[in-house]
Structure formats: structure tokens, C-alpha cells
């Protein structure tokens, strides 16, 4: 799996270049093939108009076969034709009714064959050519002999009487293919070269931009971690100051008032008031200790996660929420992973207590194969994620941290169906 943005850009770029080269190569090959056939067609028109048409004998237009006239015309035509176009294998000249008035070989002269649609369309047009692979099974090609691997190209010519005739030349497909390769080779790099140059420039630009984005992402992650480290340090300082100051003072005051309340010399009414004050002070101490655990839990590592989570949900009972904690398999997690689990649980529990209106709250941590999974589930009012941002209560920065280490954090909710916060991180 390609995790690096640069690697992803380069992979997509290479695939794009390969795709463009293959497509360009295919289109260039097709264009070269079309051009080779078009070139053969132009040659056929020149042979028909300049070689075959000017001296075509009228005597060949009749129904009577005149081999002598055909033989003489054959010698005259071939004498001028071969030096100009040695790649022509055979020539046939037809009347519109399908009768062959001249052919090389001469044995076709006088035979009549049904003209196909291509031949008829060529006769009806004043210019242009049409082509098709030679069919060895057609009647005239069986008389000619071996026509496999030949291409037939048709064009129109006119007899001295003005009668339209069909001029047909047979070319070797190998020769046309050879010409195709020559044409293709001449402009292959003209088609592919600019594409390679463009993709090279684009790849360089993408590489530069990707490095900038990666650098910005690294800097953003560094700043986020620095902010979290600073927040941890501040939380730790506040928790230490509260524990060493207010909590110790309250504990001492509670002990002193409790001692006075137990003194036999204290009046009964005063003793009752002091005992009430003692109960209130002890409740305040428990609240402060829960607050300290939320601000900065002591011994936040794998072994202490269950106790830290238990302290975390302690305020839930005061909000009328029945809360529970279940931790299994957390001992295989790293301290950094456990700290992230606790931090996400802290945000999720705080949101549930303050905003959900839930009656139950369950915090579960378990091992799932190679991952540590946290789920915080409440049965509260829920919300519509399309209307309310599920990250608006402080999970957005944590989501970024979880994603950066290859984990996943998601919030699932629906109106009236409670909310589930689920996180997965690798145990390593």
C-alpha cells in the first residue's frame, strides 16, 4: 500500500504516462495504416488515369474476346507500369456489367463476375478509391491463384468512349505494412515525445508540490503534538498545585472539623452542624479527586488504564448516568497508544455527560487482533451528523493524531439512538 503522497502521485503519473503512450502508439499505428492504404490508393488513381486510361484500346470494350489486343495492351501497360509501381501484383479492368476487359493474368479476360457493393460504389463515384482484403474464395481470385495476403484497391477510369470502367490493382499486404512502418517510424516520436516531455514537467511540479504539502503536514503534526505536550504539562502543573494545595488543605480542614465534632465537650447542636460540614467537605474532596483524574490521571499506562477510566466516569453518577468501564487486553498497548485511548475516552465521556442526556454510558477497551479498540457508547438523544459536526466537541485534533499514526476514529449517531465513539490504534 502506497502511504506516501509523493509515491501515490508518482504511481498515478507513471500509469497515466503508460496509458497515454499506449493510446498514442495505437492511434499512431492506426493513422500510419490508414495513410499507407491512402498512399496506395493515390498510386492506384495515378496508374489508372496516367497509365491505363490514355491508351486503352476501344477494341477491348466489345463482347468478343480479343486476346491479341489484350496481349499487346498488356505488354505496353506493364512496360510503363512496372518501373513506376513494382509493388502491384495484378491489375483487372472491368466493365460496369461485370465483364473483365483486361486482366493480368490474361486468362481472366472475357469472364464475367458479379460486382460487389464496394465495386459498384466506386464506379458510381467520379473520384476516390476503396480497398478491401483479397478474398481467396471469390470467383476471380480462384482463377488468379494465390491471392492470400493481397489487398484489392479500386478506382474509376474512363474508356475512350466515355464509358466508366473499374480499375482494380492488387498490392502485397506485406509491402503496405512495410510502408506503414516507415510512416509510423517517421512521426512516432512526434506523437509520443511531447507527451513524455509534458508528463516529465508535470511529474516534477507534482513532486515539488507534494514535498511542500508533506512538509506542511509534518509541521502541522509537530505543532499539534507540541500543543498537546504543552497542554499535558499545564494539566500536570494544575493537578499538582491542586493536590498539594487545595486538596491537602481541605483534607486537613475535614480532619480537624471531624475531630471537633467527636469531642465530648462540643455542644450537641454544634456537633450536628460540624458533622454535616464534614460530610460536605468529604464530598467536595471526592469531586476534586475526580476532577484531578480528569485533568491529569496518575500513572497513565497500560496497567493503570482501567483505574484512570474509572476515575474518568466518576462524575457520571452525579449527572444521573449509570456508567461502566471494561478493559481487556490493554496490557499489550504502548504507553503512547494507551494515553491516546484515554484522551479520546475523556472527550467522549465529557460530551456524553454534558450533552447527551443519557441514562447509561459504557466505556469499553479491548484487543482486536493487532489493534486496541476503544468504544464509548451512550443511549442519549443522539444527533444528525449531517446537521451537527460530530467533531465539534474537541475530537477534531484527536482525530488528526489518530489518523497520523495509522489509526481510525469515527463518531456514529442518529437522532434518538444515542452516540458511539469508536477508535482503533495499532498495539505496537
266-291 pLDDT tens trace: 787 787 787 788 888 777 777 776 66
Rounded-to-5 percentages of helix, strand, coil across the chain: 60, 15, 25
Distances (CA, A) of 390 to 122, 313, 414, 419: 73, 21, 11, 10
Q: Assign 144 a pLDDT band (cuts: 50, 70, 90).
A: confident
Distances (CA, A) of 33 to 24, 29, 264, 289, 326: 14, 6, 117, 86, 74
The mean pLDDT value for 185-193 works out to 61
4-35 pLDDT tens trace: 555 666 677 667 767 766 776 666 666 666 77
Task: Please report the pLDDT score of residue 308 as a whole number.
Answer: 79
Enclosing H/E stretch for 242: helix 173-242
Q: Assign 182 a pLDDT band (cuts: 50, 70, 90).
A: low
The mean pLDDT value for 151-177 works out to 85
Q: Do residues 418 and 358 make contact, with C-beta atoms less than 8 angstroms apart? A: yes
Task: Please report the pLDDT score of residue 165 as a whole number.
Answer: 92
Task: Please report the pLDDT score of residue 349 as a whole number.
Answer: 87
CB neighbour list of residue 418: distance below 8 Å, 6 or more residues apart: 356, 358, 377, 378, 379, 380, 381, 382
Q: Do residues 134 and 55 make contact, with C-beta atoms less than 8 angstroms apart? A: no
Chain-centroid distance of CA 408 in Å reads 21
Task: Please report the pLDDT score of residue 199 as a whole number.
Answer: 67
Which position has the higher pLDDT, 104 or 391? 104
User: Is residue 227's pLDDT more than 80?
Assistant: no
Mean pLDDT score across all residues of the chain: 78
User: Is residue 87's pLDDT more than 80?
Assistant: no
CB neighbour burial string for 363-381, b if at least 16 within 10 angstroms, e if fewer: bbbeeeeebbbbbbbbbbe
- Report how far residue 320's alpha carbon sits from residue 322's, in angstroms, rounded to the nearest whole number: 7
Model pTM score: 0.42
105-140 pLDDT tens trace: 888 888 888 888 888 888 888 777 888 888 888 888
Q: Assign 294 a pLDDT band (cuts: 50, 70, 90).
A: low
354-378 pLDDT tens trace: 888 888 999 998 888 778 888 999 9
- Report how far residue 107's alpha carbon sits from residue 326's, in angstroms, rounded to the nearest whole number: 101
Q: Do residues 131 and 151 make contact, with C-beta atoms less than 8 angstroms apart? A: yes
Which position has the higher pLDDT, 291 or 154? 154
Q: Which of 204, 147, 198, 201 is nearest to 173 (CA)?
A: 147
Amino acid at each position: 500500500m502506497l502511504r506516501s503522497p509523493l509515491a501515490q502521485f508518482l504511481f498515478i503519473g507513471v500509469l497515466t504516462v503508460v496509458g497515454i503512450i499506449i493510446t498514442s502508439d495505437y492511434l499512431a499505428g492506426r493513422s500510419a495504416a490508414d495513410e499507407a492504404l491512402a498512399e496506395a490508393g493515390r498510386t492506384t488513381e495515378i496508374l489508372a488515369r496516367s497509365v491505363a486510361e490514355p491508351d486503352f484500346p476501344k477494341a477491348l470494350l466489345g463482347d468478343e474476346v480479343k486476346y491479341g489486343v489484350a496481349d499487346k495492351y498488356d505488354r505496353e501497360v506493364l512496360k510503363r507500369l512496372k518501373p513506376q509501381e513494382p509493388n502491384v501484383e495484378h491489375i483487372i479492368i472491368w466493365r460496369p456489367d461485370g465483364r473483365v476487359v483486361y486482366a493480368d493474368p490474361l486468362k481472366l479476360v472475357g469472364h464475367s463476375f458479379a460486382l460487389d457493393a464496394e465495386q459498384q460504389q466506386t464506379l458510381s463515384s467520379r473520384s476516390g478509391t476503396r480497398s478491401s482484403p483479397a478474398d481467396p474464395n471469390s470467383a476471380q481470385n480462384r482463377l488468379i491463384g494465390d491471392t492470400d495476403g493481397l489487398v484489392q484497391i479500386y478506382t474509376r477510369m474512363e474508356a475512350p468512349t466515355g464509358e466508366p470502367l473499374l480499375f482494380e490493382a492488387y498490392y502485397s499486404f506485406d509491402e503496405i505494412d512495410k510502408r506503414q512502418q516507415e510512416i509510423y517510424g517517421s512521426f512516432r516520436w512526434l506523437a509520443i515525445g511531447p507527451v513524455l516531455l509534458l508528463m516529465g514537467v508535470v511529474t516534477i511540479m507534482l513532486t515539488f508540490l507534494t514535498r511542500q504539502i508533506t512538509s506542511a503536514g509534518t509541521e502541522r503534526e509537530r505543532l499539534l503534538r507540541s500543543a498537546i505536550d504543552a497542554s499535558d504539562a499545564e494539566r500536570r502543573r494544575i493537578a499538582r498545585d491542586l493536590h498539594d494545595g487545595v486538596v491537602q488543605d481541605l483534607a486537613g480542614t475535614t480532619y480537624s472539623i471531624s475531630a471537633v465534632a467527636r469531642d465530648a465537650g462540643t455542644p450537641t447542636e454544634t456537633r450536628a452542624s460540624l458533622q454535616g460540614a464534614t460530610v460536605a467537605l468529604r464530598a467536595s474532596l471526592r469531586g476534586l479527586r475526580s476532577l484531578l483524574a480528569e485533568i491529569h490521571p496518575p500513572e497513565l499506562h497500560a496497567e493503570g488504564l482501567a483505574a484512570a477510566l474509572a476515575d474518568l466516569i466518576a462524575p457520571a453518577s452525579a449527572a444521573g448516568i449509570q456508567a461502566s468501564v471494561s478493559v481487556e487486553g490493554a496490557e499489550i498497548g504502548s504507553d503512547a497508544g494507551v494515553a491516546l485511548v484515554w484522551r479520546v475516552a475523556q472527550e467522549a465521556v465529557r460530551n456524553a455527560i454534558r450533552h447527551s442526556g443519557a441514562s447509561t454510558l459504557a466505556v469499553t477497551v479491548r484487543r482486536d487482533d493487532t489493534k486496541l479498540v476503544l468504544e464509548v457508547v451512550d443511549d442519549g438523544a443522539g444527533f444528525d451528523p449531517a446537521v451537527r459536526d460530530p467533531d465539534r466537541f474537541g475530537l477534531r485534533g484527536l482525530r488528526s493524531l489518530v489518523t497520523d499514526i495509522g489509526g481510525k476514529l469515527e463518531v456514529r449517531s442518529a437522532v434518538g439512538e444515542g452516540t458511539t465513539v469508536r477508535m482503533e490504534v495499532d498495539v505496537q
